[in-house]
Structure 1
Amino acid sequence: MLNMNEPDLNLLIALDVLLAEGSVAGAARRLGLSASAMSRTLSRLRNTTGDPLLVRAGRNMVLTPYAEEIRPRTQNAVFEARAILRPAKAALNLATLERRFTLRTNAGFIEIFGAALIAAVATVAPFVQLRFMPKPEKTAKYLREGQIDFEVGVLGEMGPEIRITALYRDKFVGVVRKDHPLEQESEITPARYAALGHVVVSRHDRGIGPVDMLLAELNLERKIAALVPGFPAALAVAQASDLVALVPATFLLNQPGLYGNSGEARLHVFELPVKTNEITVSLMWHPRSEADPAHRWLRQLVLQVCREKVPG
């Protein structure tokens, strides 16, 4: 017989979202509720737990110490509850699987691999949807909170529990317009490279990277003429000027503007005069998804698509 004093377990999902968002308005948006309905839910949670959970701090809300303490347990409890309620012995049928997977990645990954990955998914799992989410910074927050299925990028401070597999290796190359004076030079020295005007990709107004550090060891400094927010913009500027762009080599794999209608190159690509480290681009996920058959299938498919386009 049901004990009427048992807590309403439906509140657990609302609690998980509230603790993840840290705001009533944000939680309301994620749950598709009005702000007033979310406020009433918060009141019920406060009565149930005996803790305020969210308190005012200036113009924002912050989690109480108790809320911070139960946050990871709440995330895991919600995930486990959903896993328990899935069919236990149902075999994975990709032809009928209806599911949305969210991948947090930068625009470059989508431009290079997005179309091939979407086509590969549609071929065997026509009812699966891929959602690509922007990635303005490195953080494990979205994986830990279950807001995304995958993170794609260069490994940062993601935490020891995050699972990871390398997708491909990349390196930076220099790019100038066709018929640029550099195109005729068989050897480009660090001094020659640094003296040219540069268009630099910078999302945080820094404009300084590994190449600059290596040049600094030679008492050289790049002449940075422009900062742009992305690699497509850098290529467009380089193609229409005498400036030098610095881009990942894989970014050139799927650039329609790289060649003209007759197949002639519109840009000249060259090796950098300083030795930079290779970049390893990885696929990351939370261990709670490790045994999920559908998740495991998509992990393998992402790896396959990336290695077909970037062999070795």
Structure 2
Amino acid sequence: MTFHQLKIFCQVVESGSVTRASQVLGIPQPAATRAIRTLENEWGLALFDRAGRGLVLNDHGRLLYDYAKKVLTMTEDLQETMTSRKAEEDSSISIIVEAASHLFPHICTAFSALHPQAVFRALHRESPGQGGTGYPLRLFSSRERPTDPDTVVLADEEIKLAVPREGPLGDREVIRLAEVSQMGFVSLFKTRGLRQITDYYCQEAGFQPRIIFETDNTTTVTRYVSSGHGVAFIPILTWPAEEKDLQVHLVSVTQPACRRFINLSLDQRSGLSPYEGLFYDFLIDYFKKLQA
């Protein structure tokens, strides 16, 4: 017994004849007749009573018809569900976000304008780490340029020092990092990738930053400095422009020069959905334009 045979059987019942059922299904009449006979032989029961040239559904046939309709309905529902699931997977974008988290919603909005069917699954993670199961893409930062062949550098980003515009450093364009060693720093939590990078630069300059305000919110960092308190490291590309236009002045840092790389890695083991492939290319182009 096959789904095809059950479909033919139900159509014969509903059409009232093998001839009309064959026409509806677009199959030769002998093929429909064979399907009915195969079902009768398999069960050892006649499904129709023959009345001259016509067929009359008997009790056995009615029983099979009731079950066959349920089976075919469930099969159609299953097909629709699996087709929908496949379409959802094809349009899904699963990505771990460890850097540029404040810019990421803007990126997704721009991509969705081009691809309205896109569905994002973004895992925002504070601590830098490796890929996650089911998340083939990873957006992260690093102090050194990655050498992994499955990682592409999206941007080489300068990290400037945000100081109060009306403060003693408000007219400086360049500063050695050691000059602010005695000042209080406004910073992200130590688990954040940016914090780990800037802590390294402070160590290179010969001091450990004195943290006076620690937060997980990038907006708060800039606003706290704009109120006249402390200094803060600010990535110039990935922190939105509207948050740089407050009462802060951005100073380039030397000795050491402070920079970071924004990277996109691909977990080859997971494979990419069609939309993840599109988003991968989109991210590369987006950051290229951002730096232009």
TM-score range, shorter chain: 0.5 to 0.7
Deviations 1:216-264 (A, max 9, x none): 1xxx454432332343222121111231111222234x142332xxxxx
Q: 1-side partners of 2:286 and 2:219: how far apart?
A: 22
Q: Is the 8 A contact 1:231 1:247 kept in 2?
A: no
Decide which structure has the larger Cα Rg and report it: 2
- The answer to whether the 8 A contact 1:113-1:305 is kept is no
Q: Any idea what SS the aligned residue of 2:127 has?
A: coil
The unaligned stretches of length 5 or more in structure 2 are: 1-81
Query: Counterpart of 1:258?
Result: 244
Find the partner of 1:194 among 171, 181, 184: 181
Code of the aligned partner of 2:96:
R
Residue aligning to 1:122: 113
Output aligned runs, 1:225-244, within 5 Å. 225-244=212-231
Query: Does residue 101 of the first structure (1) align with residue 93 of the second (2)?
Result: yes
- Does 2:130 match 1:140? yes
Q: Which among 302, 309, 312 is matched to residue 283 of structure 2?
A: 302
Letter of the structure 1 residue corresponding to residue 205 of structure 2: L
Which consecutive unaligned segments of at least 5 residues does structure 1 have?
1-84, 87-93, 260-264
Q: Deviations over 1:149-187 (max 9, x none)?
A: 31100359xx99882211111122100122122113466
Cross-structure match for 1:203: 190
Q: CA deviation at 1:203?
A: 3.4
Pair 1:257–1:281, CA change in 2 (3 A):
closer
Q: Which amino acid aligns with 1:104?
A: I
Output the aligned Cα RMSD: 3.5
What is the aligned-residue identity percentage? 11
1:186-220 deviations in Å (ceiling 9; x for gaps): 6644453212222222234998712221221xxx4
Which structure has the higher relative contact order (CA within 8 Å, separation 6+)? 2
Using structure 1 for the length normalisation, give the TM-score: 0.55
The aligned residue for residue 256 of structure 2 is: 275
Q: Match of 1:251, SS?
A: coil
1:138-217 counterparts in 2 under 5 A? Answer: 138-142=128-132, 145=133, 147-154=134-141, 163-185=150-172, 188-204=175-191, 209-216=199-206
Q: Is the 8 A contact 1:102 1:148 kept in 2?
A: yes
Aligned to 1:176, the other structure's residue is in SS state: strand
CA contact (8 A) 2:199 2:209 kept: no
- Name the counterpart of 2:40: none
TM (norm. structure 2) is 0.58
- Conservation of the 8 A alpha-carbon contact between 1:167 and 1:282: yes
Q: Deviations over 1:50-108 (max 9, x none)?
A: xxxxxxxxxxxxxxxxxxxxxxxxxxxxxxxxxxx99xxxxxxx9x99622122113x6
Residues 275-311 of structure 1, C-alpha deviations (whole Å, 9 max, x = no match): 2353221111211355754432221111111221123
The answer as to whether partners of 2:94 and 2:276 remain within 8 angstroms in 1 is no
Decide whether the 8 Å contact of 1:212 with 1:222 is kept in 2: yes
Q: State how far apart, in whole Å, the 2-side matches of 1:187 and 1:279 are.
A: 18
Aligned length: 203
1:82 matched to which residue of 2? none
Counterpart of 1:184, as a letter, is D
